[in-house]
Amino acid sequence: MLTLDSVKGWYGRTQALFGVDLHVAPGKTVALVGTNGAGKTTTLRAILGAVRTEGSVRVDGEEISAKPTHRRVNDHRIAIVHEGRGLLSQLTVLENLVVGANRAERARIGEVLELFPVLRDRTHQKVSLLSGGQQQMVALGRALLRDPKYLLLDEPGLGLAPVVIDEIYTYIAELCSRGMGVLLVEQSVTRAASVADELVLLRVGAVDRVVDTRDRERVDQLVADAFGVHHS
């Protein structure tokens, strides 16, 4: 279980998180939703130790909040796909996967390419020549080389066509079914409700409520309260 208890976070002197509690169980997908500036990305950064925090971050019962980022990701098998993907566009698919990968990670490249057949035929193509969806798959593949137990995704569908977003989320569901815990930031609550087990609504850097997505009534209520629109 990935657990945050009363996590506060700061950028310099500016406080962005005011006490976030959340849980991500292995095999579950939790979506962080909320309006712009609510603290979704900052919550992911707090888990990685990329902002100054107070409060508790635990992975499988172990407190990690005093650890530097590299220890959190390496010792506790947390991986992240940042918004914007962070790929090296002039390098090939394979080069992007290999850059920075250790021996064990390189040994998993074949396995990762199995998961994304569309990339298997394009390993020597420059990333800049791929579609947005294919680029997102490379970014996901890079994260998967780490064999994460918990995967953090910041807006994986950003800038992609709805049909491509569906495809990306199909992969994510597959990873979840293999036991990975997924924490994702998603702008579209409708989309989040269709892919996640739980929605965590953030409002001004704190959790407003947690909603089980099987409870359609509460999902609709969340959309209406948080975004001032009715969910169809």
Ligand X SMILES: Nc1ncnc2c1ncn2[C@@H]1O[C@H](COP(=O)(O)OP(=O)(O)OP(=O)(O)O)[C@@H](O)[C@H]1O
Among 4, 31, 41, 157, interactor with ligand X by CB under 6 A: 41
Alpha-carbon distance of 21 to 55, in angstroms, equals 9
Asked if 156 touches ligand X (CB under 6 A), the answer is no
Among 24, 30, 38, 168, interactor with ligand X by CB under 6 A: 38
Buried-exposed string 46-70: b where 16+ CB fall within 10 A, e elsewhere: bbbbebebebebbbeeeebbebeee
The least CB distance from residue 229 to ligand X, in Å, is 16
Asked if 53 touches ligand X (CB under 6 A), the answer is no
Among 8, 28, 40, 72, interactor with ligand X by CB under 6 A: 40
Residue type for 169, please? Y
Phi/psi of residue 152, nearest 5 degrees: -105, 130
Instruction: State both tokens at 67.
Output: 């650890």
| Candidate ranges 36-44, 60-68, 171-179, 208-216; the one touching ligand X (CB under 6 A) | 36-44
The CB density around residue 132, as the number of other CB atoms within 10 Å, is 16
Alpha-carbon distance of 229 to 114, in angstroms, equals 41
Among 11, 52, 63, 215, interactor with ligand X by CB under 6 A: 11
Among 37, 68, 86, 179, interactor with ligand X by CB under 6 A: 37
| Candidate ranges 23-31, 35-43, 56-64, 93-101; the one touching ligand X (CB under 6 A) | 35-43
